[in-house]
Amino acid sequence: MKTSSIALLVLLFHTILSLSATFATPTSFHENFLQCLSLHSDPSIPIYSPNSSSYESILQFSVRNRRFSTPTTPKPELIITALDESHVQAAVICSRKHGLHLITRSGGHDYEGLSYVSDVPFVIVDLLNLQSISVDAKKGTAWVQAGATIGQLYHNIAVKSRTYGFPAGICPTVGIGGHFGGGGYGALLRKYGLAADNIVDARLVNVDGKILDRKSMGEDLFWAIRGGGGASFGIVLSYKINLVHVPPVVTVFTFNKNLEEGATALVERWQYVADKLPQDLFLTILINVVNSTQRGERTVQASFRALFLGVVDKLIPIMEQRFPELGLTHDNCTEMSWIQSVLYFAGFPINSSSDVLVDRTPANYLVTASFKAKSDYVTEPISQTGLEGIWKMLLEENIPGLIFSPYGGRMSEISESAIPFPHRVGNIYDIHYSVAWIEKGLKASKEHIGWIRRLYRYVTPYVSKFPRSAYLNYRDLDLGQSKNGTASYSEAKEWGIKYFKNNFDRLVKVKSKVDPDNFFRNEQSIPTIPSWGKKN
Ligand SMILES: Cc1cc2nc3c(=O)[nH]c(=O)nc-3n(C[C@H](O)[C@H](O)[C@H](O)COP(=O)(O)OP(=O)(O)OC[C@H]3O[C@@H](n4cnc5c(N)ncnc54)[C@H](O)[C@@H]3O)c2cc1C
Ligand SMILES: *[C@@H]1O[C@H](CO)[C@@H](O)[C@H](O)[C@H]1NC(C)=O
Ligand SMILES: *[C@@H]1O[C@H](CO)[C@@H](O)[C@H](O)[C@H]1NC(C)=O
Ligand SMILES: *[C@@H]1O[C@H](CO)[C@@H](O)[C@H](O)[C@H]1NC(C)=O
Ligand SMILES: *[C@@H]1O[C@H](CO)[C@@H](O)[C@H](O)[C@H]1NC(C)=O
Ligand SMILES: *[C@@H]1O[C@H](CO)[C@@H](O)[C@H](O)[C@H]1NC(C)=O
């Protein structure tokens, strides 16, 4: 990738030079921009225009939702695949100077494609080449560049140590840049909180193109980029994290029950148990529609999946005491190392080498399918009648999915204002709703999105209210958006209060101070109020 992009670049500059030689007229804005880039960085900065032969493959490489790779999807005017920090600085300085809308992409998993799609003309700075990770096993810390994936991070930790892990997401191709900036959680959530709770330093390019670390950016901005979404505040180059302790042996199980086997009662019961279990036990539920072997027709299946930070002999008595209804036995459980549990949850054979986690090639469905997702927080258990209504709606769709992720434990100990992510004590679990489809075209898209919106309406009485909260990393433009990223305070509050609750105002203050002209923006970014930026 490196050499070919340099070759292209040379070609591009050659074209530009010959163009300007031919027409000694005022140069195009592209040209000015490119000249600016060459002035502020070195000639190796890789830039792809739609004319470059690899533009399309670079653009598509990190698209993780086919809904945003259609013939009508807006495309970037240029893509800059930064090879070092100075390239990111140059991208900011020159985009600002020439009035270009710059958006940042790390892993490209944004649910609404906001890292590679915009309604106004735009340029992408793609961090996929900034993926170095340095683990200090002695100190129990690591620096990780924003363009790395969480799978790469897990692999690098495991290579250095069997007793360290990190509490981030399940899917290994998710990017550090977006994931950490929005919170980030997985099977270690109840023991150690979010990825963002474990960040101790960061390097960020601000609106002036300067690189700041925790000390030079100050605690307000450092607070904002740990859960407030990096995209409103700058471009995060790397994070320093504290690794967390994991035991040499952990236990996992997957326990499937469909409706005919009493899934509804088990799911209902789980709501009274899951957030109160010991912190070492994470018991989540995936709910899907499957073909029932018993009845030969489609049915809803609840898949109970657990990670226990300990041996099976310790787990069984806990389950017998807290959740005997599940009927878990030794035979249902497997002991393994923590890194094997990462492979297990990601769907790899547990005896694979953790090298598979380094591969950025996404799971097939992330390439071939379109999807739409939404989220909710549950503070009171949903009744069996309520659950049955949800199942009925799931059976109307081809590829629906729900994930119930239990909170409690460490999540309840961290204050709502510690970082911008506010969903702490009082939440039993969050719901992730999704629908995927293979058919192309607007009609299919409308139908499936219509279905998930109906489901979201149906669930209203059962979930959090005032605000009906949502998780930023499960981005949902249905909650509100501004076409050009210039929402007023009251418009942005529509979604801001759902993602951030009482932390929204503090985010607006930080934003107003560090980026008063709203250079860093997207359809759901934090707005500015000029007078708020001046106050301290
Ligand atoms: C298959 C799949 C599985 C997932 N599993 C989980 C999970 O287990 N747990 C969980 O918590 N979430 C999960 N998510 C959601 C995921 O955390 C978010 O989509 C996250 O934002 C993705 O980060 P990214 O770098 O891949 O995304 P991108 O699309 O690159 O970025 C997302 C947003 O962050 C901005 N951004 C990206 N990099 C930077 C940067 N360096 N500086 C500033 N702004 C930046 C982008 O502009 C965009 O607005 C999953 C998503 C998918 C698609
Ligand atoms: C791409 O090619 C078109 C003509 O084919 C030209 O007008 C345009 O300037 C080129 N763009 C860049 C960025 O080179
Ligand atoms: C759990 O193990 C028992 C044997 O002890 C087995 O009969 C049962 O099918 C298993 N259940 C699941 C859901 O895997
Ligand atoms: C269920 O059965 C249908 C029809 O036989 C088939 O098309 C579909 O792929 C099956 N689904 C699953 C999840 O196995
Ligand atoms: C993994 O390897 C171990 C040790 O070689 C073996 O005992 C175990 O059965 C293997 N597990 C699977 C699922 O293949
Ligand atoms: C952004 O969009 C709003 C509403 O569509 C419009 O009023 C405003 O002028 C636009 N601002 C810019 C900078 O394009």
User: Which of 508, 435, 510, 502 has its CA nearest to residue 469?
Assistant: 502
> Does residue 363 form part of some domain?
no
Ligand 1 proximity of 108 Cβ (cutoff 6 Å)? yes
- Domain assignment present for residue 352? The answer is no
Please indicate, yes or no, whether residues 75 and 198 belong to a single structural domain of this protein: no
Ligand with minimal distance to 289 CA: 4
State the distance from the centre of ligand 6 to the C-alpha of 486, rounded, in angstroms. Answer: 7
Degrees to nearest 5, angle at CA 361 with 360 and 364: 145
User: What is the SS3 assignment for 151?
Assistant: helix
Q: Are residues 269 and 404 in the same domain?
A: yes
Among 199, 215, 245, residue at a domain's last position: 245
What is residue 225's DSSP assignment? T
Is the residue at 97 inside a domain?
yes
Residue 58 inside a domain? The answer is yes
**Residue 303, token pair as written in the block:** 């898949």
**CA separation for the pair 282, 287 (Å, rounded):** 16
Judge if 241 and 254 occupy the same domain: no
For residue 3, the model assigns a pLDDT of 36
Q: Please count the CA atoms within 13 angstroms of the CA of 479 that sit on its side-chain side.
A: 27
Give domain status of residue 19, yes or no: yes
Where does a domain end: 69, 97, 126? 126
CA distance 366 to 369: 6
Q: Which of 224, 245, 266 is the last residue of a domain?
A: 245
pTM of the model: 0.93
Provide, for the chain, the percentages of residues in helix, strand and coil under a 3-state DSSP scheme, each rounded to the nearest 5.
Answer: 40, 20, 40
Looking at the structure, tell me whether residues 291 and 217 fall in a common domain: no
470, part of any domain? no
Sign of CA pseudo-dihedral 509, 511, 514, 516: negative
Q: Please state the domain count of the chain.
A: 4
Q: Is residue 166 part of a domain?
A: yes
- What gap in Å lies between CA 232 and CA 238, rounded to an integer? 16
> What is the residue-level pLDDT of the chain in tens, covering all 536 positions?
333 443 344 334 433 333 333 333 345 667 899 999 999 998 899 999 999 999 999 999 999 999 999 999 999 999 999 999 999 999 999 999 999 999 999 999 999 999 999 999 999 999 999 999 999 999 999 999 999 999 999 999 999 999 999 999 999 999 999 999 999 999 999 999 999 999 999 999 999 999 999 999 999 999 999 999 999 999 999 999 999 999 999 999 999 999 999 999 999 999 999 999 999 999 999 999 999 876 678 999 999 999 999 999 999 999 999 999 999 999 999 999 999 999 999 999 999 999 999 999 887 777 889 999 999 999 999 999 999 999 999 999 999 999 999 999 999 999 999 999 999 999 999 999 999 999 999 999 999 999 999 999 999 999 999 999 999 999 999 999 998 889 999 999 999 999 999 999 999 999 999 999 999 999 999 999 988 987 55
Q: How high is the pLDDT of residue 6?
A: 37
Residue 331 C-alpha to ligand 3 middle, in angstroms?
6
Q: Are strands 101-105 and 122-126 parallel, antiparallel or unpaired?
A: parallel
Domain that holds residue 188: 133-245
CATH of residue 11? 3.30.43.10
Give the C-alpha separation, 161 to 138, whole Å.
Answer: 10
Residue for token pair 């930070």 = 309
**Is 329 a pocket residue for ligand 3 (Cβ < 6 Å)?**
yes
Q: Which two tokens stand for residue 174?
A: 């998710």
Specify the pLDDT at position 14.
38
Same structural domain for residues 15 and 90? yes
**What's the CATH code of the domain at 302?**
3.40.462.20
Q: What is the CATH classification number for the domain harbouring 160?
A: 3.30.465.10
Our answer on whether the CB atom of 395 is closer than 6 Å to any ligand 5 atom is: no
Same domain as 313, residue 440: yes
Residue 162 sits in the same domain as residue 232: yes
Determine if ligand 3 sits within 6 Å of the CB of residue 256. Answer: yes
Same domain, residue pair 19 and 107: yes
Nearest CA to ligand 6 atom 1: 484
CA-based nearest residue to 192, from 345, 357, 307: 307
How many angstroms is it from 370 CA to the middle of ligand 4?
19
Say whether both 428 and 452 belong to one domain: yes
Same domain for 256 and 311, yes or no, is yes
Q: Are residues 147 and 258 in the same domain?
A: no
In a domain, 474, yes or no: no
- Based on its alpha-carbon atoms, the radius of gyration of the chain, rounded to whole angstroms, reads 24
Q: Is 290 in the pocket of ligand 4 (CB under 6 A)?
A: yes
Bridge partners, 433 (sequence order): 374, 402
Residues designated catalytic:
474
Residue 296 sits in the same domain as residue 413? yes
